[in-house]
Structure 1
Amino acid sequence: MAKTKKYVLITGGTSGIGYELARLLANDGHNLIIVARSQEELDRVAHELSAAYKIEVVTFAKDLFKKNAGFEVYDFVKSKGLQVDILVNDAGQGQFGEFINTDIEREMDIIQLNITSLVVLTKLFLIEMVERKSGKILNLASVASKVPGPFQAVYHGTKAFVHSFTEAIRAEVKDSGVVITSLLPGATATDFFRKADMLHSKTVKDGKLADPAEVAMDGYNALMNGDDMVVSGFNNKLQVAMSSITPDEIVAERVYKQQGPKEGVQK
């Protein structure tokens, strides 16, 4: 019987932190399954990574905003007879603005993407990993998971779920041989801010955005070391530590001032 090829499945693997993680894992010789909405972008990245690292790259164009998308990704992988050794749930989006003014339909899509699709993929592949007594899962949370987020209330809420969920299931399977890690980056130079309609915010205008390659390396190292979580970047570590000993009301007010639209800048 032929040995089963092992693959890494990465959602949002065509740009930003997901793309950088794909490069790191491809460099280790892992075959890849990358999932994103644009087939054109998938084809471009697949060609680049397969040529550079001499690995197989399987692509699947799927909009994870859709209700059954997570199940469809799993069914696609099974139909190809592939074994997912590492799952990276990277895909995620936000929306900037005061909650009473933002688009509820988009927020429901964000909850579907950031939470529902991640939970479905994690459950289905984790069941297989526990049965095999091996496997790794990296879930992209955020430092947003640790603080209230005025102007990004739904995004921060979804990331708080992702981190809490990840920590909980890690405890459940701690003796199974499966590693589950939560990666908490801060503001990073990706396409997130454009998609979130956030280019006019103080975070982008005044802040120093992290390099996605450095964030990906932090997540990769934590996953390979079997760590439960990693906060990427010294300043983010400091922010998380301070927020843990500061009342939420004060943290929320501080974030309100930090994340609001830059004065004099029109949306």
Structure 2
Amino acid sequence: MKALVTGASSGIGREIARLLAARGYDLILCARREERLRQLAAELPTACRVIAADIADERECRLLYEAVRGEELEVVVNNAGFGLFGEFASTSLEEELRMIDTNIRAVHILTKLAVRDFAARGRGYVLNVASSAGFLPGPLMATYYATKNYVLRLTEAIREELRRAGSPVKVCALCPGPVDTEFNKVAGVRFSLGGLSAQRVAREAVGGLFAGRGVVVPGAAMKAMTLARHFAPDCLLARVTYHFQHRKNGG
């Protein structure tokens, strides 16, 4: 059994890799930081292959999959991603385009290629790491929220197609709220709400994936939020989200 995990050098991806190794999966670990991947590989009890790549580059993303598709993969975890804080008119266009390439384009490519192979083989699991942000409009992190909405809705749609086809292939979207990872530093924010541990989020993600769940929302507070959003118009949700986003930056 083999699994590919992108963004495996830290945070949720690293913890998911540990859990998959504990279940007996040999791992293909991908991220930009090779040294961190090798440190993780040395800790794990199963065989690990390290591939340093920047999947924001479409060519590297496609080469990654070509390099591993012969490994008889059973699980693909699309975890690589990042955020950016600031008003849309003032944030860096170049950084936003790199975010779209990482959070959307790479996820789309790897999901499509994996689903095609898994469907033909008659088995396999794809876990796409979205966010609770995917349920909401996100002023002050507009592009990030939009990318996670794409990941969530894409995953839900693919799941329904597979269900109607009677396919045993399972796809799942992980939608955590704040998590104690390096995300804050990269995005330039600090959460106003307490975050869950990456270990807990990973446990719920892996458990939900293998249980065949379509969407996993870790934590009671985030589950309540996803339900409550149905009772408020988007314009109100945008205002509430702005309030919490503003507090992230000390506002």
State the Cα distance separating 1:70 from its structure 2 match. 1.8
Moved over 3 A (4+): none
State the Cα distance separating 1:68 from its structure 2 match. 2.0
From 117, 127, 148, give the equivalent of 2:116: 127
1:41 maps to 2:32 = no
Deviations 1:164-193 (A, max 9, x none): 000001111121110111111001001011
Q: Taking structure 1 as reference, are residues 95 and 262 closer, same or farther at Cα in structure 2, changes over 3 Å only?
A: closer
Match of 1:156 in 2: 145
State the Cα distance separating 1:109 from its structure 2 match. 0.3
TM-score by length of 1: 0.90
From 215, 219, 224, give the equivalent of 1:233: 219
Conservation of the 8 A alpha-carbon contact between 2:54 and 2:61: no
Conservation of the 8 A alpha-carbon contact between 1:12 and 1:36: yes
1:29 maps to 2:24 = yes
Conservation of the 8 A alpha-carbon contact between 2:79 and 2:128: yes
For 2:248 and 2:77, how far apart are their aligned partners in 1? 34
1:8 maps to 2:3 = yes
Number of aligned positions between the proteins? 249
Match of 2:76 in 1: 87
Deviations 1:62-110 (A, max 9, x none): 01221322201112214xx311100100111110011111000000000
Give the letter for the 2:30 counterpart: V
From 194, 206, 225, give the equivalent of 2:185: 194
Q: Taking structure 1 as reference, are residues 48 and 250 closer, same or farther at Cα in structure 2, changes over 3 Å only?
A: same
For 1:92 and 1:244, how far apart are their aligned partners in 2? 27
**Matched residues, percent identical?**
36
1:185 maps to 2:172 = no
Give the letter for the 2:103 counterpart: N
Match of 2:207 in 1: 221
For 2:84 and 2:14, how far apart are their aligned partners in 1? 22
1:252 maps to 2:241 = no
For 2:247 and 2:176, how far apart are their aligned partners in 1? 22
Give the letter for the 1:228 counterpart: G
RMSD, matched Cα:
1.3
Match of 1:111 in 2: 100
Conservation of the 8 A alpha-carbon contact between 1:143 and 1:231: yes
Conservation of the 8 A alpha-carbon contact between 1:86 and 1:137: yes
Match of 1:56 in 2: 47
For 2:184 and 2:42, how far apart are their aligned partners in 1? 27
Deviations 1:238-261 (A, max 9, x none): 111111221010011011111114
Match of 2:15 in 1: 20
- Which protein shows a greater Rg? 1
- Structure 2, gaps ≥5 residues long: none
Match of 2:59 in 1: 68
Give the letter for the 1:32 counterpart: L
Give the letter for the 1:187 counterpart: P
Q: Taking structure 1 as reference, are residues 262 and 114 closer, same or farther at Cα in structure 2, changes over 3 Å only?
A: closer
Conservation of the 8 A alpha-carbon contact between 1:69 and 1:117: no
Give the letter for the 2:173 counterpart: S
For 1:186 and 1:94, how far apart are their aligned partners in 2? 13
TM-score by length of 2: 0.96
For 2:121 and 2:204, how far apart are their aligned partners in 1? 27
